Structure 1
Amino acid sequence: MTENALRDRETSSAAAAAWLMRGRAESIPVLVQDVVPQNFIPSHPTHEAVPMDEVAKPDKRNWSSTLDLIHEATTAIRISEERATELELELQRTVTQAIERERFLEQKIAATEARAELAEGRAKEAEEWLNRLHEAVVSGFTRASSEPAQPDVQRSSVA
């Protein structure tokens, strides 16, 4: 962002924060000393004692402060909408990354499963060969049970 945009955003953020921190007029407590009792009768007429310029007209409204509040409210809404848009974009990026990561991991799992199946096939084949070797060794080096038992001393060795 440019410097002016940042400065405007900071100013509008501060204004929006100030607007959000304000309470409604009816929630502001009224001091008892500022309240004039209804049965209060002034000792002299107010139209003679106070000049007309100093008396606030009851139907006159302060439109400038109303406009300021409206500007602050619209700024706060605009900032909220911009933040929501930024969060939506960030969410889309995160979802896209998660989908890509899921695809990568699924491919990796498939490759690992294929390698495991190959390894299991090789292990079964190795077990079969080991069983054949074991049978060959056992059948080749065991004595025949039909031969009479002879003492080892009389037997000649071939070496």
Structure 2
Amino acid sequence: MATRLAVGDTAPDFTLPAADGSTVTLSDLRGQRVVVYFYPAAGTPGCTTQACDFRDSLASLQGAGYTVVGVSPDPVEKLAAFAEAEQLTFPLVSDGEKKVLEAYGAWGEKKNYGRTVVGVVRSTVVVDAEGTVELAQYNVRATGHVAKLRRDLGIDPR
């Protein structure tokens, strides 16, 4: 089981391919606060709900100085189709080798319909402008998570 990050840890840097054909490197976002959220599979009901909640909250998150990046093990082509279908305007990046998922503690054993399986642990890590973990949440629920995250970060819901 991967070690989970805690407040005050240095966020592991990464460079991953994005759905739009670019690459996203965390260290390139220094000076910004970054919400990095990890989800199991593009296009599934829970992941769609969560992504659309981020989409619908993007203006208030950006207004408070946050950049949002979604990470899954899906191939870039699947992410591109997902982003287009759901009109997602924040980067979705592919971690097919699961190295970033492991580095962030978002890959490991979890309960799924009463069974223990190995996979993506739905998680959100907020990285401050200097690259330090500001908030780390694991085993989050897809529904209502973004609203809770905004409350935890003190962001006005409007």
TM over 0.5: no
The two structures have a TM-score, normalised by structure 1, of: 0.18
Q: Looking at secondary structure, tell me which structure has more strand per residue.
A: 2
> Which structure's relative contact order is higher, taking Cα pairs within 8 Å and 6+ residues apart?
1
The two structures have a TM-score, normalised by structure 2, of: 0.18
Choose 1 or 2 for highest CA Rg: 1
Q: Looking at secondary structure, tell me which structure has more helix per residue.
A: 1
